[in-house]
Amino acid sequence: MPRLCYPKCSLVRIMGWLQLVLGGFVIIVSLCCLFAFYSAGLYLHNDDISRHFDHAKDVYDGFDVKTLADRVEEVLEKMESLQNKLESAVQKMEKQKGEPGGSISRLEFKRYLEEEVIKPLYGAHIALRQIRLPKAEWIRNTTFKEEPLINYFVTEEIRKYITPKGNKNGKINIFGAKGIYNTIGHACVLMKKELEDYMDYDISSFCNDDWNLAQKLMLHGCDPLPRRRCLTRASKLYLKPYPINESLWKIPDGRNVRWSNYKCRNFECLSSKNPQRGYTKCSGCFEMEKEKLKWVQTSSLPVDFLIDEVLAIKPGEMRIGLDYSVGTGTFAARMREHNVTIISTALNLGAPFNEMIALRGLIPLYITPNQRLPFFDNTMDLIHTTAFMDGWMDLLLMDFMLFDWDRVLRPGGLLWIDKFFCSRSDLDDYMYMLLQFRYKKHKWVVSPKSKDEVYLSALLEKPPRSL
Ligand SMILES: *[C@@H]1O[C@H](CO)[C@@H](O)[C@H](O)[C@H]1NC(C)=O
Ligand SMILES: *[C@@H]1O[C@H](CO)[C@@H](O)[C@H](O)[C@H]1NC(C)=O
Ligand SMILES: *[C@@H]1O[C@H](CO)[C@@H](O)[C@H](O)[C@H]1NC(C)=O
């Protein structure tokens, strides 16, 4: 009766294959373990290896060997239990051989494979893939520090989120860092020394003049920073700010800024004409004659949209919004004249961006790109971004940011991508990032910036999401 034999025979054959596959897995896992433990110095047989370990210790400083070992252990357990289950199933089938009703139906067989074999195998496979080993070149480079706690988490998305996103061009970005450190605060572990310096103060007395240390910690992923119980220093003389009908378009009084951590000592020095001004991004931003032209003066570039045009798309509907940019609040100032309240993100990148925005009578939001926006879902009428996102940005990072913007934008709200630029060859990738949300396109303009670079400006509307 060859037909009856079919499920049993092929089951046995498949079991054999599975065991082979499992065997392969076990070998890989064992190799991983060996490598990790060897590197961690758990098998020290001779002086050579000890010396290797002493050398490697610097590299592994911060690399979380324990959690790595835990993950490997977890995979091994999964594999072992799977193998036991398969073996006992085969034994059971051997016993039932010849008994009436001893063979299983195709359907049962399929269910068995899916539930009892493929699922746990897939689990083990994923767990194995998630194990991050230090790369060989990192071992050679003793100055490299493994990011802490990534192996502590099992969920792939957390791991993706907190893995630092290196700048695409490999250079230092506008924030003075090699990448963006999306954070759940874990990176404080990496900057123990700096964090300890930061938290080393006398309670209730004056804080050190160290906002730049605080900002450095934040930008490198120790974000949010702990609160402190000391008194922050102000400028020697603080004059009352100009009234709002004057402050929006006037360079503030320099005496209202504490200049000690900047290269410049007054606002005039921040002019783009001064090569020693101490900052590069948004170089004309401290010159009001230049700022006054933005978003109101028709330009020759089709990627320059005017505020009037944009607001005309949704008359009276735009009331509150966010400007995620590098600047001194000019967008918010113009929008204020249209009775729209805009919050402007700002970091003090070599110049007093936050102070300037606040002295103009606008709201600076001191936030790093590491962080989730402090707004609730579906609340903002408008998000505008310029001079911040451009071709340096890692795609996965951009994806996390755009989804966060999408979260806070209300249905019918507008996303204004203002002169985003990147190299021509990357444009498709970045365009996909924006198009994936299926927003309504009010405007979409691509125009050349230079020989290899292009600008993209877009005005997109978030659709209703009534689910
Ligand atoms: C090691 O890392 C440092 C800083 O991260 C870098 O400057 C240096 O070029 C690297 N060396 C090698 C051999 O990769
Ligand atoms: C601003 O308002 C104040 C009083 O509200 C007024 O005295 C002053 O002249 C105004 N300044 C300008 C430039 O309009
Ligand atoms: C803004 O609001 C004020 C007071 O309600 C009003 O007088 C002014 O016309 C409004 N401006 C715009 C551009 O809508």
What distance in angstroms lies between residue 172's CA and the mean position of ligand 1's atoms? 14
Quote the ligand 1 centre to 149 CA distance (angstroms). Answer: 23
Q: Give, for ligand 3, the residue of 339, 340, 341, 342 to mutate: max count of ligand atoms closer than 8 Å to Cβ.
A: 339
Tokens of 392: 């340096």
| Domain edges within the chain | 2-138, 164-233, 244-461
Q: Which fold has domain 244-461?
A: Rossmann fold (3.40.50)
> Going by C-beta distance under 8 Å and a sequence separation of 6 or more, which residues neighbour residue 1?
none
Neighbours of 238 (CB within 10 A): 12
Question: Tokens 């700096």 map to which residue?
Answer: 194
Q: Token digits for 315?
A: 């008359």
Q: Is ligand 2 within 6 A of the CB of residue 276?
A: no
User: Residues 165, 187: contact at Cβ < 8 Å?
Assistant: no
Pocket test for ligand 2, best of 245, 249, 250, 288 (most atoms within 8 A of CB): 245
Q: Mind giving me the DSSP string for 400-412? A: HHHHHHHHHEEEE
Question: How much is the pLDDT for 56?
Answer: 44
**Are residues 157 and 101 in contact, defined by beta-carbon separation less than 8 angstroms?**
no
- Closest residue by Cα to atom 8, ligand 1, is 141
Q: For position 60, what pLDDT does the model report?
A: 47
Q: Cα-flanking dihedrals φ and ψ of residue 181, to 5°?
A: -110, 75
Helix (H, G, I), strand (E, B), or coil: what is residue 291? helix
Q: How far is the CA of 143 from the centre of ligand 1 (A)?
A: 7
> d(Cα 287, Cα 64) in Å, to the nearest integer?
49
Whether 232 is in the pocket of ligand 1, judged by its Cβ within 6 Å, is no
What pLDDT was estimated at residue 144? 47
- CB of 60 closer than 8 Å to CB of 146: yes
Which atom number of ligand 3 is nearest to the Cα of residue 339?
A: 1
CB-count burial class (<10 Å; 0-12, 13-18, 19+) for 410: middle
Neighbours of 259 (CB within 10 A): 16
Closest residue to atom 6 of ligand 3, CA basis: 339
Query: CA–CA separation, 458 vs 303, rounded Å?
Result: 8
Q: Which ligand is nearest to the CA of 179?
A: 1
Cis ω before 352 (30° cut-off from 0): no
Ligand nearest to the CA of 337: 3
Q: Which of 137, 141, 146 to mutate to test the pocket of ligand 1 (most atoms within 8 A of CB)?
A: 141
pLDDT tens, 322-332?
Answer: 999 999 999 99
Buried b / exposed e across 302-321, counting CB within 10 Å, b at 16+?
Answer: ebbbebeebbeeeeeebebb
What are the angstrom distances between the C-alpha of 215 and each of 187, 207, 367? 14, 15, 10
Tokens (6 digits) for 318: 């735009």
Q: Cα(360) to centroid of ligand 2, in Å? A: 15
DSSP category for residue 297: S
- Any bridge partners for residue 211, and if so which? none
- In the chain, count H helices and then E strands: 16, 9
Residue 214 to residue 141: CA distance in whole angstroms: 28
The number of CA neighbours under 13 Å toward the Cβ of 394 is 21
Residues in the chain: 467
Per-residue pLDDT of the chain (467 residues; tens, 9 = 90+): 444 445 555 666 777 777 777 777 767 766 665 555 545 444 444 444 444 444 444 444 445 666 677 778 888 888 888 888 888 888 888 887 767 666 778 888 888 888 888 888 887 777 776 666 655 444 454 444 566 677 777 777 777 878 888 888 888 888 888 888 887 778 888 888 999 999 998 989 999 999 999 999 999 989 888 888 999 999 999 999 999 999 999 999 999 999 999 999 999 999 999 999 998 888 899 999 999 999 999 888 899 999 999 999 999 999 999 999 999 999 999 999 999 999 999 999 999 999 999 999 999 999 999 999 999 999 999 999 998 888 788 888 999 999 999 999 999 999 999 999 999 999 999 999 999 999 999 999 999 999 999 999 999 999 998 88
